[in-house]
Each structure stands twice: as C-alpha cells, then as structure tokens.
Amino acid sequence: MNKSDIILTDSGVFKKKLPHLAKPVLVMRDVTERTEGIEAGTARIVGTDTDRIVREASGLLTDKSGL
C-alpha cells in the first residue's frame, strides 16, 4: 500500500489504519461505521456504482492533489 497512489477498499478494518499512510482512499460502500478516514479528509465513500468508482479513481490518478 505504501507504493500505491490511491487505495480502494470495502473493508472496515483497513479504513481505520489507512489515514496514517497519507494516501487517498475510496471506500466502496454506501455507508460505513468507521469514519476516521472520512473525518480526517483522506477517505471518501463512493458507493458500489462501477461508473462512480471509476470516475473517482480516475480523477484522483489525474489530479495528484488528493481528496
């Protein structure tokens, strides 16, 4: 994960630890009980719609300024 530009996950376990990596995280769920990354501004809930996931991921890879 350290070598990645962005991280996509649907796991609650990783979302708690990912803000410390300073990588943009896209959460592929409609809701989450783990809001640490969202509150820290390093994660964004994008749901499960494929088009939205691709659009959000492409935007992050194109614009390196993050979330």
Q: Can you give the pTM of this predicted structure?
A: 0.83
In a domain, 53, yes or no: yes
In a domain, 32, yes or no: yes
pLDDT at 12: 63
In a domain, 13, yes or no: yes
In a domain, 67, yes or no: no
- Where do the H-state alpha helices sit in 1-44? 12-17, 36-40
pLDDT at 49: 97
In a domain, 21, yes or no: yes
Starting at the edge strand found earlier in the chain, the sheet holding 7-9 runs: 7-9, 25-27, 43-45
In a domain, 45, yes or no: yes
Supply φ then ψ for residue 26, to 5 degrees.
Answer: -105, 125
Q: Which domain holds residue 55?
A: 7-62
In a domain, 11, yes or no: yes
- Work out how many domains the chain is built from and give that number: 1
Over 70: is that where the pLDDT of 16 sits?
Answer: no
**Total H helices, total E strands in the chain:** 3, 3
